[in-house]
Amino acid sequence: MNRLVYLLFIVFLSSGCSLNKNSSFWSSSKVIEQDKEIDTKIVDEKKIFLKNKILIKEFNPKLEIKLDKNLFSKNRVADLTNNNGRLSFNRNLNRTSRYKFSKIKNFYQSEPEISFYKENIIFFDNKGSILNFDNNSKLIWEKNYYSKSEKKLFPILQFANNGEFLIVADNIAKYYLMNIETGELVWMKNNIAPFNSQIKIFKDRFYIIDFSNTLRCFSLKDGSEIWNVKTQNSLIKSQKKLSLVIVKDIIFFNNSIGDISAANLNTGELLWQLPTQNSLIYESTFSLETSDIITDNKNLFFSNNNNQLFSIDINTGNFKWKIDVNSSLRSTIVGDILFSISNEGYLFLIDKSSGNIIRITDLFNKFKIKKRNLIEPTGFVIGSNNIYLSTNNGRLLIVDISTGKTISVLKIDNDKILRPLINNQNLYTVKDKAIIKLN
C-alpha cells in the first residue's frame, strides 16, 4: 500500500527528458554572448567587520583580498566534505557547445547533477537511460534498466561513483549498482520511499536520505540495508535535495525541516541532533530551502532561505555562531574564508572561525533594477582567479575574487541553468534540455 502511495505521489510530481533523435552529442562550438545590461552603483567604504544585521547592501566594497597562490583544492568536483574549495581553473570561456535532450518538464523542482569519471561525463535522459560519453563526444555506453511502466514515470536520477562502480538512486524508489567501465548492472533494489539527497560512498557502504527523512546505509556489495536513522517527517515533501558529509567515523546530514543530525558511520547510532527552526513556526518549514552542508573537518557550515547561516561544532552539535545571510546555495571554504552568495545576489566573505563578515559586494549590479528582482543565483564554483556564478535566467557571471566585482556576464541561455562544475579544464552546467560545456 505504501509503495502504491509513493508511486502515485511521484506520478504527480515527476517528469523528465529524452534524447533528441536529430541531435548529435555536442553541438558545434558557438561564441558566447556578453550581456550588455549595465546599471552602475556608487557605494561608500565601511569599517572592517560587521555582524548580525540582515544585509542587502555592500560592505567594505573597496577591500581587496589576496588568496595564497598555492591554496588549491585537489578535488575536481567535491569529496566527502562537500567543499569544492578553489580549483585550478582559469579559462576565457568564450565558446560553448551543447549536448541536447528533450525538455525536463519539472526541471525547476529537481537538482540533477553530472557525474564525472576520469575525463568522461555521466548523465541521463527522460526515460532513465544512463549515458557515459567522453570529452570528445564519443558515446562509451548507454544503459536503461527500467521497465516500460517505470519509464513513463520519467525518473530523475542521482549518481555517485568510486572509480569502479556507479551508484544510481531515483525519485521512484529504485537504487542500483553498475560497473562504471561497462555499464553492466550488478544489482538492483527497491526502497519503501523515493530518494531525495546526495549519495556518499565510503569504503564498502553508501549512504542516502529518502523522502521520509530517513538516512539509510546500504551495502555496496549487494544493496542490502545495514541500518537506518529516522528523523522527523514532514507533511509536505520538499523538492530541495538534502545533503550529507562524512568526517572520520561520523556522518552528518540534514532533513527537510532543517534539523542537523550526526550518526555513527558504522552502527547508525544517533550521536546528536540539532533543530535549526523554531517549532512554534513549523508551517514555515514547508517553504524551507537549505543549502548543502559543507565542513572543514572541525565545523559544519550551512545556510537557508530564512536569513540564517550557521557554524556548528561537529563534536558537540552546538552552534558556534549564526549570522543573517539569506542563501540556499552551497558555500565554499578557501583557507580561513567562507564564501557565500545570497539569494539576492550578494557575495559574502566571512571569517569562518568568528563569523565576522569581511566584505559584501553586489554581483547583480550589472542587471537593470526592474529585472534583478526576478533573477536568482543557482550555484557557484571558485577557480584560480574568478568565481563562476549561474542564474535562473541563463546567465553565467564571472566575478573577480580579489575585488568581488562582476567582470562580465555571459549569456548562456534564457532559462535556468544549474550550479557550474569544472572538469578537465572545461566548465559544465545543466539546463532543462541540455548539458552545456564552456571552454
- For range 246-258, the mean pLDDT: 95
Q: What are phi and psi of 109, to 5 degrees?
A: -100, 5
E strand or H helix at 206? strand 205-209
Q: Of 346, 342, 344, which is closest to residue 329 (Cα–Cα)?
A: 342
Q: pLDDT digit string (tens) for 98-108?
A: 888 777 777 77
Residue where the block lists cell 572561525: 353
- For range 56-69, the mean pLDDT: 92
Angle at 238 between CA 260 and CA 232, to 5 degrees: 45
Looking at the predicted structure, is the pLDDT value of residue 41 above 50? Answer: no
Residues 131, 181: Cα–Cα separation, whole Å: 12
Q: pLDDT digit string (tens) for 114-139?
A: 999 988 999 998 889 999 988 777 88
69 versus 214: the higher-pLDDT residue is 214
103 versus 250: the higher-pLDDT residue is 250
220 versus 286: the higher-pLDDT residue is 220
Residues 409, 190: Cα–Cα separation, whole Å: 44
Reported in sequence order, the residue ranges of 213-334 that DSSP labels E, i.e. its strands, are 214-219, 225-230, 244-247, 250-254, 260-264, 270-274, 294-295, 299-304, 308-313, 319-323, 332-334
Q: Of 250, 245, 255, 246, which is closest to residue 276 (Cα–Cα)?
A: 255
E strand or H helix at 151? helix 148-151
Residues 68, 87: Cα–Cα separation, whole Å: 13
| Cell digits of residue 187 | 544489482
| Cell digits of residue 20 | 533528441
25 versus 203: the higher-pLDDT residue is 203
Q: Of 178, 260, 248, 258, which is closest to residue 220 (Cα–Cα)?
A: 178
340 versus 31: the higher-pLDDT residue is 340
Q: pLDDT digit string (tens) for 263-305?
A: 999 999 999 999 998 765 555 556 889 999 999 999 999 999 9
pLDDT band with cut points at 50, 70 and 90 for residue 49: very low
Selection from 116-130, 137-151, 209-223, 232-246 with the highest mean pLDDT: 209-223
Q: With 0-12 CB in 10 A as exposed, 13-18 as middle and 19+ as buried, what is 164?
A: exposed
Instruction: Measure CA of the first residue to CA of the last residue in the chain; give whole Å.
Output: 50
- For range 87-94, the mean pLDDT: 91
pTM for this prediction? 0.89
Please give the torsion angle defined by the CA atoms of residues 99, 105, 109 and 114, in that order, rounded to the nearest 10 degrees.
-20
Contact in structure between 249 and 265 (CB atoms under 8 Å)? yes
Q: What are phi and psi of 266, to 5 degrees?
A: -90, -40
Write down the pLDDT at residue 434: 87
Contact in structure between 48 and 358 (CB atoms under 8 Å)? yes
Q: What is the 3 state secondary structure string of 368-408?
A: CHHHHCCCCEEEEEECCCEEEEEECCCEEEEEECCCCCEEE
Write down the pLDDT at residue 78: 61
% pLDDT > 90, the chain: 67
Domain ranges of the chain: 2-438
Write down the pLDDT at residue 77: 57
Looking at every residue in the chain, the average pLDDT score rounds to 87
224: how many CB neighbours lie within 10 A of its CB?
9
| Cell digits of residue 159 | 549518481
In terms of CATH architecture, what is 2-438? 7 Propeller (2.130)
pLDDT band with cut points at 50, 70 and 90 for residue 25: low
Residues 285, 305: Cα–Cα separation, whole Å: 10
% pLDDT > 70, the chain: 86
| Cell digits of residue 376 | 536568482
Rg (Cα) of the chain, in Å, rounded?
Answer: 21
Report strand pairing: 95-100 vs 434-438.
Answer: antiparallel
Looking at the predicted structure, is the pLDDT value of residue 6 above 60? Answer: no
Write down the pLDDT at residue 405: 97
Q: With 0-12 CB in 10 A as exposed, 13-18 as middle and 19+ as buried, what is 390?
A: buried
Q: Of 369, 365, 362, 409, which is closest to residue 389 (Cα–Cα)?
A: 409
